Each structure stands twice: as C-alpha cells, then as structure tokens.
Structure 1
Amino acid sequence: MSEGNFYSNRVAVVTGGGRGFGKAFGMALAARGAHAVLVDIDGTVAEEAAADIRASGGQATGFGGDVTDEARMAEIMKQAAALGAKNGNPGIDILINNAGLHSDEYGQPIFKMGLAKVKRLFDVNVIGVVTCTIAAAEYMRGRAGASMVNIASSAGHMGGSAYGDTKLAVSGLTITFARELGPDGVRVNAISPGLMLTETIAAELPPETKARVKAMQMIGDDGKEEHIVDAMLFLTSPQASFVTGEVLRVTGGMAAGV
C-alpha cells in the first residue's frame, strides 16, 4: 500500500491545529488525501487554517474548542467521525495531540509562575491529552492503521522545569495509552522535538539560549518545522505498523542518552 493511498479519505484530527506545528501537520496530511480536522482554542484561527488547506485543494474543517473541555471535545470528535461517513466509513483514523502551552510565559520557574499558571499548564499539556484521547478512542478502535501521535518535548528528558514535567507526563501517557489501546488496533506514539526554530520560538528565544542549545546538538543545523512533520508522517504511516509506545526524539542529538 503506498503512502498516498493510505491517507486518502482518512479523517485526521489535529489539536492546536490553527498555527505552528498543528497547521503544518494538517497541511501535510491533507496534501496526502486525508480530511484534516483542525481544533484550536481560537476557532477563527482554526477555520482560517482550514480555509488555507481547502484553497490549496485539500479537505479540512476547523473547530474552536479548549482541549480541557470534556463536553466540547466529545462533540468535536463525534462531528469529526461523521466526516468519514461520506466515504462509507465513519470514524477517526489519526489523532495528533499537539495542543499545548509552551511560550516563554509558561517556561518560568514554578515559584515565579504561581499555582494558577502551573495548574493551567498541567491542565492543557497533560489533562488535555487525556481528554482528547478518551473522546477520540471510541471512533478509532478497530480501524485498520489507526494511530495517535502525542507531542512531547526534549525538555521532558532534561528536567528542571514545570513545562518539562508536563511533557515527561505526556511521554508516560503515550506508553499507557499504547498498552490500553493496543488490543483495539490503535498505535500510540510520541514525538519529542528539540529546539525547532518556528517563527514563535525564533522571536522569543534570546540568541545566547539558541547558541547554548545548539552547542549540545550532535548535528549543527537548525531544527525546522518540517523535521517534526516528517516524524509525524512516519509514525502515522504503514512503515511504522510495528511501532507503538515509543517516544521519537527529533533533537539533532541534543537529548541523546539512556
């Protein structure tokens, strides 16, 4: 089965899909024939991203919703599954749990952020993954080639920040959900990006921090959005049919080690 045929007419839900990695994931999946369902806390941004995909000839739908809102995520997953009905096979084939808080605001020490921000950080980055996975799972069980990809972070391997702790939890949840959904034929993996110079990160990151991180890499090039998109396409493809419960580090060697 070719990759192009594999994605054709499949339903792929991407949280945090209005911008950044999420939009890039949606565009790549739609370009291969999937119907990209972009979910974002900003519904206008989600629909604008979906419109961009449609303008380029792909299939896409945008929804507004907070990934911590159980009722809203359940409704979105129900509507996403129904999109497959026109092809005679309602359901969800791919879930990318990408939504997360990661700006400089949430990269501060716990005592500087305070309890309210720390709670919000864990609610979105950890409980959001649980909420969306539970909501989507009933529409994914038993579907050939169904898979989930969670977005973790190299910060989870390095310790020392609440943000990293949330991404360490995402890595743990990946193994747990892989074990629980494996008997139903759903693979669950994660991608752990290193320093990826997206527009947001490049604008926020002090030059000295960029230099320090790059000095830790084994590959001297800049990490780019397409590196993470390529990893997602591998993990959701038939080439990864025997891969589940894994965390794929895409860090230029920065996070290498046991």
Structure 2
Amino acid sequence: MTLIVTGGSRGIGAAICTLAASRGYDVVVNYSGDSAPALAVADEVRSHGRQALAVRADVSVEDDVRALFDAAAELGPVNALVNNAAIVGNTPGRLDSYDVGVVRRTLDVNVTGVFLCCREAVRRMSTRYGGDGGAIVTISSTAARTGSAGEWVHYAASKAAVDTLTFGLAQEVAGEGIRVNAVAPGMIHTGLHEAAGLPDRMAKYAPQIPMGRAGEPAEIAEAVLFLLSPASSFTTGAVLDVGGGR
C-alpha cells in the first residue's frame, strides 16, 4: 500500500507517516521547505521496514502536485492520500487586520492544494480510470465550527471549505472504489503555535476543553489510520472531530 502524506515532515503529518509505516504502508513524505525533517521522517518509516520517499512540492502549484504523484509511483500504485498540508498565514488577529495577500495564500494552500491533490488521487485510484480504488483523508479543523474569532477566521473558513469538498467528492466517487473522509483536530500540541508567536496558546485554551487538555499528534494519526483502513469500509463523507469534546 502506498500513501502520500502532504505536509508530512512535522507535527500531525509526521505522526501519520510513522504510524502508517507501522501499519504496513509505504509512505511518501511531502514537504515544501526544509528537507531535513522530511528526510528524518522518511528514515523513521524505513525503520519499520517500509519504503519511503521525501518529495518537495508546493501543494498549491499544479505542476508540483503532478510531480509529487509521479514520484510516488516509484513505490507502487497510490491507494491512499492524506491532505495534511496547511498554513494559518499570519499571527492571530481580527479579520479587518488581515492583508489580502495572506488570505489568498492561505486559501491557495489549504483549499486549492486539497483540490489538486484529490484530483490527482482520483485520476489514479478511481475504477473509472482503471484504478483499484483507495482512501482519501483530509485534515480539517474544529475551527470550521468555532470560527476562530479574533485569531484566524480566514483559516477557519478554509477548513469549512475542506469539509464541503470532502463531502461532495465522497459522493462523486463512492461508486468508483474511493472513500473520502476528514479528521477535524482541535487544539493539538504542534509547532504551529510557537511559530505563530503563541507558545502559551495550549495552556490558555485547555480549561475550555472538556477533557481538560490539548491533544497529541499521535491521537490524530490514530483517527486518520482508522479512516484509511478497512475498519471504516462503510464510512465516506464523514468529518470525525478529534478535539477532546470542544
């Protein structure tokens, strides 16, 4: 089984790559910037006895996405995709403080990037195109419900678009051997918060989470692997919240 994980070099993406390898997947670790973390994740995949490739590609660029999928074919037919790559684009603030360029870039990566990767996956997996089927999981966010007011409304809007894309595509390809689902993480311990200049963000929001804590990348990875696996064989078009009850 060959799996592509976009944004697979860090955080949730890296956890997905590692867990997938332990479950028998060969993994393509996509990244867009520094190669070192992606190469380290690829080595971790190989430590589980699986094949791995680290492939640089900007998911918002059509030619990059095609090249990503072409490279993945070195490991075998692609039958699983996790659309994890996403950005928040700027430090938190109200919508009226945003620069339009930041918003456009965020939507380009978070929405257009998912569209492009899903399109290329369908063209390879669908029985309509001679494929053997497969599974796609998109990484959404509970922000699609909460709106992320005062912080990243544009990001929340992009994730709501991902939810709609997931549901619509699931209906289109359900009869072609492809299941399409989403996982919506809540507050998760990743480097995103520190990178945005908010190292204390998890501590701030923990009291608002019914379970009393933020989640871990490994907990999101478990949900993703469930939706990729035959254990969810009658599940498509679903958005699985993994947010500790918030």
Say whether the fold is shared (TM-score over 0.5): yes
Could you tell me how far apart the structure 1 residues matched to 2:29 and 2:35 are? 11
Q: How does 1:93-104 map to 2 (within 5 A)?
A: 93-102=79-88
In the alignment, structure 1 segments of 5+ residues that lack a partner are: 1-9, 85-90
Q: Which has the higher contact order (CA 8 A, sep 6+)?
A: 2
Asked if 1:230 is matched to 2:222, the reply is: yes
Could you tell me how far apart the structure 2 residues matched to 1:200 and 1:56 are? 27
Specify the code of the residue in structure 2 equivalent to 1:180: E
Q: State percent identity of aligned pairs.
A: 35
How far is the alpha carbon of 1:244 from its aligned partner?
0.5
1:128 to 103, 113, 122: 113
2:213 is matched with: 221
Query: Deviation string for 1:150-208 (max 9, x for gaps)?
Result: 0011111012311100011111110011011112110000011010112443674354x
1:205 is matched with: 198
Provide closer, same or farther for how the CA distance between residues 206 and 21 of structure 1 changes in structure 2, counting only shifts above 3 A.
closer
TM-score when normalising by structure 2: 0.89
How many equivalent residue pairs?
237
Contact 2:125 2:133 in 1 (8 A): no
In the alignment, structure 2 segments of 5+ residues that lack a partner are: none
Contact 2:85 2:110 in 1 (8 A): yes
1:196 to 188, 197, 204: 188
Contact 2:3 2:25 in 1 (8 A): yes
Q: How does 1:33-182 map to 2 (within 5 A)?
A: 33-42=24-33, 44-45=35-36, 46-84=38-76, 91-102=77-88, 105=90, 107-142=92-127, 146-159=134-147, 160=149, 161-182=153-174
1:25 is matched with: 16
CA RMSD of aligned residues (A): 2.0
TM-score when normalising by structure 1: 0.85
Could you tell me how far apart the structure 2 residues matched to 1:210 and 1:23 are? 20
Contact 1:107 1:163 in 2 (8 A): no
